[in-house]
């Protein structure tokens, strides 16, 4: 389980959130600028907070009082950004296996092939990111996020560039992935329908605070 208590002074308000994520899809829902991305980056270790902690399964990854900070690359948390952050000089396939230690072994190749199949991007495997569409890049980024067998997945607007039909399909697949992986997923969206479709629980965020929390019936 991920446990967080986060305080950070932002330009216009203070970010102040306390929450846990167990083996479920927790959605952060809120308007642009309310602090969603900043929160994911603090959890990933890509931004520092002013006060608080981030713990996962009893291990401390960040604690401002105890002066503990674990580097992002040592957290085994996978983050997918809004802008996908794919490597432009690498093929789709190499982007997906990037970050896996034994990228040449059979299991890795098999897993990458399965993800290519699952995300319907098999035909793109040798192309470079600039040659494929935004929606396709998003699917490659999703496959990469799931490739490294992380303990936790942080998804920042993972479906925002996709057509409605594909959003529905990938949304369902995200739910089935979460059930297969049995790890916490934290997903950011400002689409309420999507929050209800994908999430097990929704935290409504406004100006850096949780204003409401609701479970979702599926
Ligand atoms: N370095 C910084 N120091 C202080 N405040 C910042 C800094 N960078 C951004 N902010 C402020 O933090 C707030 C939260 O930004 P954040 O990107 O987390 O929002 P968001 O909810 O993810 O928005 P969006 O949905 O548009 O991506 C913004 O209001 C922004 O002005």
DSSP string, 139-190: HHHHHHHHHT--SEEEEESTTTTS-HHHHHHHHHHHHHHHHHHTS-EEEEES
Measured from the Cα of 190, ligand 1's closest atom is 25
Mean pLDDT of the chain: 92
Check if 73 has its Cβ closer than 6 Å to any atom of ligand 1. no
Distance in angstroms (rounded) separating the CA atoms of residues 181 and 68? 28
- Does residue 139 surpass a pLDDT of 90? no
Ligand 1 centroid from CA 12, angstroms: 9
Alpha carbon nearest to ligand 1 atom 6, residue: 10
Sorting pLDDT into bands at 50, 70 and 90, what band is 205? Answer: very high
- Does residue 204 surpass a pLDDT of 70? yes
Q: Give mean pLDDT, residues 199-203.
A: 98
β pairing state of 51-56 and 2-9: antiparallel
Q: Shortest CA distance to 129 belongs to which of 86, 163, 159?
A: 86
Measured from the Cα of 12, ligand 1's closest atom is 29
pLDDT for 9: 98
Check if 36 has its Cβ closer than 6 Å to any atom of ligand 1. yes
Sorting pLDDT into bands at 50, 70 and 90, what band is 84? Answer: low
Check if 47 has its Cβ closer than 6 Å to any atom of ligand 1. no
Ligand 1 centroid from CA 128, angstroms: 31
* Least trusted range by pLDDT, from 24-28, 110-114, 139-143: 139-143
* Residue of 10, 37, 195 with the most ligand 1 atoms within 8 Å of its CB, for mutation: 10
* Predicted interface score ipTM higher than 0.90: yes
Alpha carbon nearest to ligand 1 atom 3, residue: 10
Residue with tokens 């713990």: 55
Percent of the chain with pLDDT over 70: 99
- Does residue 82 surpass a pLDDT of 80? no
* Least trusted range by pLDDT, from 26-40, 97-111, 193-207: 97-111
CATH 3.40.50.300 region(s) of the chain?
1-76+151-217
pLDDT for 94: 94
pLDDT for 169: 83
Ligand 1 centroid from CA 207, angstroms: 10
- Does residue 119 surpass a pLDDT of 90? no
pLDDT for 19: 98
- Does residue 11 surpass a pLDDT of 90? yes
Fold of 1-76+151-217: Rossmann fold (3.40.50)
Alpha carbon nearest to ligand 1 atom 7, residue: 10
Sorting pLDDT into bands at 50, 70 and 90, what band is 80? Answer: confident
């Amino acid at each position: 389980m991920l446990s967080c208590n986060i305080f950070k002074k932002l330009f216009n308000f203070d970010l102040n959130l306390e929450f846990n994520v167990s083996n479920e899809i927790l959605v952060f829902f809120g308007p642009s600028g309310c602090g969603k991305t900043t929160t994911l980056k603090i959890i990933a270790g890509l931004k520092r907070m002013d006060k608080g902690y981030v713990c996962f399964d009893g291990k401390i990854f960040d604690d401002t009082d105890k002066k503990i900070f674990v580097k992002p690359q040592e957290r085994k948390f996978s983050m997918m950004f809004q802008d996908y952050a794919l490597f432009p000089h690498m093929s789709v396939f190499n982007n997906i296996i990037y970050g896996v230690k034994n990228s040449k072994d059979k299991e890795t190749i098999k897993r990458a092939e399965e993800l290519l199949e699952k995300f319907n991007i098999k035909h793109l495997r040798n192309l470079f990111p600039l040659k494929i569409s935004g929606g396709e890049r998003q699917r490659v980024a999703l496959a990469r996020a799931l490739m490294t067998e992380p303990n936790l997945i942080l998804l920042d607007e993972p479906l925002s560039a996709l057509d409605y039909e594909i959003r529905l399909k990938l949304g369902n697949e995200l739910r089935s992935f979460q059930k297969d992986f049995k790890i916490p997923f934290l997903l950011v969206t400002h689409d309420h329908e999507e929050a209800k479709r994908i999430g097990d629980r929704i935290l409504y965020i406004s100006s850096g605070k949780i204003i409401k929390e609701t479970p979702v019936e599926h």
